[in-house]
Structure 1
Amino acid sequence: MRWLMLAVGTLAMVAGSTFQYGLAYLIPAFRDEGLSLEQTGFLVACPTVGVTLTLIAWGAAADRWGERVVLSTGLGSAGVVLVAAHWVHGPAGLAFCLVLAGAATASVLASGRLILGWFARHERGLAMGIRQSAGPMGLALAAATLPALAAGGTAAPLWFLAALFLAAATVALVCVRDPAERPTTGELAPDGGSPYRDASLWRIHVASALLVIPQFTITTFALVFLTDARGWSPLAAGHLLAGAQLCGAVSRLAAGWWSDRIDSRLKPMRIIAITTGVGMLALAAAAAAGSGLAVPLLLFLGVVAVSSNGLSFTAVAEHAGSAWAGRALGIQTTGQNVLTAATPPVLAAAIGAVSFGPSFALVAAFPLVAALLVPVAAERAPSDVAEPAPETVVTASSQGPGDQNH
């Protein structure tokens, strides 16, 4: 049952990620319709703005009514909004619909506590890696489908995204069963008090937020770089990037498995941050020189830059414990989404002003700072934290009114 729940949750995240992050693959189509790069960067950021505005509210709703209600309602609402988007006119109306759909899609991100409920500690790194691999899988789906669908304009891609949301909502309504709460104690607050009394959890939040900047620089502008700077066709570039995103999904699984084996989430996170920063510097140099090495470096970063996401989410949940996991994950995801929303328009302006090479060099600073902030020395081994009892997992049909937690 737990693997079925993980599969359904992953499917929901694939749908959400295809929409929230896949709009970057429509940038050429938006520009063909007369929009500037700055305007398209704003549109690409709209879903994340909506997610950021409603994420904590969806988390509270999930704690109150459970995952089944939240996922089916949120995904279904997003599908309906995207259907309605076909009857709006102008970029302002489209932006409003994209923000509303993003606000509904935030329901998907309210499922982070599900891993705590269904999986034991020694399995959580891999389980969270599987869940978080939905991000690059959604991007791979977007890269493989949206450029081709956009050949005749942006209407067909929006219909596709609406249908994907409605299908995922149906699966969630039929299949999801919520686990009962598993009592765990956070690493940073072993007495059950606030984990924020120590600076370590804040440092994880900030580091993981900084790491989304290179991730979404590559996600948003890889297609534009390949088409504008390297002369690729949007379709060929989309197919190449789809392969990179699939490899990125595998990298999240590998990072989770690695963290389970070495009893640490934060050591691998620091190594990945350093590798990303060095890779961004190499990409900046290759882009500035017009070197063909920029393409393999871009693909390398498309895999490595996304691999730490599951590690940071698992670290936050385990540090906070079940009593604080919902609030901690809400803070974590909100911070990440603020920078995710800011990255496309800010980088679009930077690229327009100074070109790709200097912009990539600027981005390289963020993962290097993140590596310094990751509190590796404060991390305890998983064996130091109370292991939840497997018998506490129950299906929704056996829960009491107050047991619908993640």
Structure 2
Amino acid sequence: MESGRRWVVLAAGVAGMTAGCAFLYGLPYLLPRLRADGLSLTQAAILVACPTFGLLATLVVWGALADRYGERGVIALGLAGAGAGLLAASAARGPVVLGAVLVVAGAAAGSVNAASGRLILGWFGPAERGLAMGIRQMAQPLGVAVAAVTIPVLSSTGRNPALLFLAVFCLATAVLIAVVVRDPARSAEAAATTNGNPYRAPVLWRLHGAGALLVFPQFAVATFGLVFLVDTQHWDAAPAGRLLAVAAFGGAAARLFAGWWSDRAGSRTGPMRLLAGATAGVLAVLALGAGGVPGVTVVALVAAAVVSVSTNGLSFTAVAEYAGPGWAGRALGIHNTGQNAVAALTAPILGAVVTHAGYPPAFTAAACAAVLAVLAVPRLSAPAR
């Protein structure tokens, strides 16, 4: 019964995180609509980054609440708050009010990022944890895929239908989490966790740094991929969104493979380092294609969208395992805060770079961030099975 329960809990957690990610990370697919409504690229990029600014303020708090009170209530409450915030956003007048409401909705949605990873630590053992976290991390590209398919179509006549869709998605999964998810029992592994602060050693800081660096190329592609295809390759928004949705499904599969690979290899950080190097190489090719090298641009963009998201589950699993159950919620909250801080800054910074210097320097900067991540990843083995 418990074996079946953990997979049901995982499936419900993935559904909830998919809804949250469709909102938090799929909002850039509103960029063409916002620009059509009269905003500049930089202004629109700041607006779609607003949920991430809200996220930054609450991730550690949500993680601490999950450590203390359990995951189910925290995730369900946050998703319900995000859905309510999105309903309010659909009625907002003017970009300032809309941005403020999106900040609040993003702050609520942070619960699923901080607490759902902790569910994996409690329900799955070390031999399956990489795969389970890979499945959980599939939710981000799946959420982006849902947004890529739906938002360009729903926003063709205005932004409100897209915002209402995201609101209903969050509210429905909040109910699902409340009904289906059960918090894991406090295991012997949790009881054996020391009371020492894991941040006294540099390992977690290096994992946080590497994870944050790898978010920069991921969000460079996720935020500007659609606009890049529309502006430079002269695609229509709808087919460009469908192509990126296919790439997002490829990214989900890449996360699943990376988790399985780490279970077999007995290491989270070894595969993470190799995939970070592959991300740097693909983005370098994309930068060349954006600079006018023929025949590689669209293929390189799709490859970058797949490879750049592959490391997230590995960094989350490594952080949770190293921190231990007693610190996992807070450690994952800190990890998420660093990642989302970079995500929030990526859109406005690269928006300004693209506006003034074009796409090649933007993609080159993303490749350099991946190279730095390769150097930051520590060498760790997974816990004994």
Tell me the TM-score normalized by structure 2: 0.96
Equivalent of 1:212 in 206, 212, 215: 215
Q: 1:65 to 1:320 in 2, by over 3 A?
A: closer
| Residue 106 of structure 1 pairs with residue 107 of structure 2 | no
- Tell me the C-alpha RMSD between the 2 structures: 1.5
| Residue 372 of structure 1 pairs with residue 375 of structure 2 | yes
Q: 1:185 to 1:9 in 2, by over 3 A?
A: closer
Give the match for residue 360 of structure 1: 363
Once residues 252 and 374 of structure 1 are traced to their aligned partners in structure 2, the CA distance between those partners, rounded to angstroms, is 17
| Residue 85 of structure 1 pairs with residue 63 of structure 2 | no
Give the match for residue 17 of structure 2: 13
Once residues 40 and 226 of structure 2 are traced to their aligned partners in structure 1, the CA distance between those partners, rounded to angstroms, is 16
Tell me the alpha carbon deviations over residues 216-268 of structure 1, each in whole angstroms, 9 at most, x when there is no partner. 00000000000000000000100000000001001100000000001010010
1:270 Cα deviation from its structure 2 partner: 0.3
Once residues 28 and 248 of structure 1 are traced to their aligned partners in structure 2, the CA distance between those partners, rounded to angstroms, is 23
Tell me the alpha carbon deviations over residues 309-357 of structure 1, each in whole angstroms, 9 at most, x when there is no partner. 0000000111111122222111111111110111000000000010001
Give the match for residue 382 of structure 1: 383
1:279 Cα deviation from its structure 2 partner: 1.2
Once residues 365 and 82 of structure 2 are traced to their aligned partners in structure 1, the CA distance between those partners, rounded to angstroms, is 35
Once residues 65 and 193 of structure 1 are traced to their aligned partners in structure 2, the CA distance between those partners, rounded to angstroms, is 21
Native 8 Å contact 2:193 2:325 kept in 1 = no
Once residues 382 and 141 of structure 2 are traced to their aligned partners in structure 1, the CA distance between those partners, rounded to angstroms, is 29
Tell me the alpha carbon deviations over residues 357-385 of structure 1, each in whole angstroms, 9 at most, x when there is no partner. 12111221101011011112xx13422xx
- Gaps (5+ residues) in structure 1? 388-406
1:67 Cα deviation from its structure 2 partner: 2.0
Equivalent of 1:342 in 345, 354, 365: 345
Give the match for residue 297 of structure 1: 300
Once residues 32 and 381 of structure 2 are traced to their aligned partners in structure 1, the CA distance between those partners, rounded to angstroms, is 47
Native 8 Å contact 1:283 1:298 kept in 2 = yes
SS at 1:101 equivalent: helix
1:193 Cα deviation from its structure 2 partner: 2.2
| Residue 174 of structure 1 pairs with residue 179 of structure 2 | yes
Equivalent of 1:130 in 120, 127, 135: 135
Once residues 193 and 143 of structure 2 are traced to their aligned partners in structure 1, the CA distance between those partners, rounded to angstroms, is 37
Tell me the alpha carbon deviations over residues 30-60 of structure 1, each in whole angstroms, 9 at most, x when there is no partner. 0011111001110111111111111111122
Once residues 367 and 358 of structure 1 are traced to their aligned partners in structure 2, the CA distance between those partners, rounded to angstroms, is 15
Native 8 Å contact 1:185 1:192 kept in 2 = no
Give the match for residue 235 of structure 1: 238
Q: Which amino acid aligns with 2:92?
A: V
Once residues 101 and 160 of structure 2 are traced to their aligned partners in structure 1, the CA distance between those partners, rounded to angstroms, is 13
Give the match for residue 404 of structure 1: none
Give the match for residue 100 of structure 2: 96
SS at 2:326 equivalent: helix
Once residues 286 and 364 of structure 1 are traced to their aligned partners in structure 2, the CA distance between those partners, rounded to angstroms, is 13
Equivalent of 1:69 in 69, 73, 80: 73
Once residues 229 and 303 of structure 1 are traced to their aligned partners in structure 2, the CA distance between those partners, rounded to angstroms, is 21
SS at 1:372 equivalent: helix
Tell me the TM-score normalized by structure 1: 0.91
SS at 1:184 equivalent: helix
Once residues 327 and 134 of structure 1 are traced to their aligned partners in structure 2, the CA distance between those partners, rounded to angstroms, is 21
Native 8 Å contact 1:183 1:323 kept in 2 = no
Q: 1:343 to 1:183 in 2, by over 3 A?
A: farther
Once residues 226 and 292 of structure 1 are traced to their aligned partners in structure 2, the CA distance between those partners, rounded to angstroms, is 14
Q: 1:49 to 1:8 in 2, by over 3 A?
A: same
Q: Which amino acid aligns with 2:136?
A: R
Once residues 314 and 83 of structure 1 are traced to their aligned partners in structure 2, the CA distance between those partners, rounded to angstroms, is 34
SS at 2:327 equivalent: helix
Q: Which amino acid aligns with 1:245?
A: A
Give the match for residue 390 of structure 1: none
Give the match for residue 403 of structure 1: none
Q: Which amino acid aligns with 2:45?
A: G
Once residues 196 and 53 of structure 1 are traced to their aligned partners in structure 2, the CA distance between those partners, rounded to angstroms, is 20
Native 8 Å contact 2:254 2:310 kept in 1 = yes
| Residue 284 of structure 1 pairs with residue 279 of structure 2 | no
1:191 Cα deviation from its structure 2 partner: 5.6
Q: Which amino acid aligns with 1:372?
A: L
Fraction of identical pairs, as percent: 52
Give the match for residue 26 of structure 2: 22
Native 8 Å contact 1:266 1:374 kept in 2 = yes
Native 8 Å contact 1:183 1:322 kept in 2 = no
SS at 1:353 equivalent: helix
Once residues 40 and 316 of structure 2 are traced to their aligned partners in structure 1, the CA distance between those partners, rounded to angstroms, is 35
Q: Within 5 A, what are the aligned runs for 1:133-212?
A: 133-184=138-189, 192-212=195-215
Give the match for residue 36 of structure 2: 32
Q: 1:329 to 1:263 in 2, by over 3 A?
A: same
SS at 2:189 equivalent: coil
Q: 1:352 to 1:263 in 2, by over 3 A?
A: same
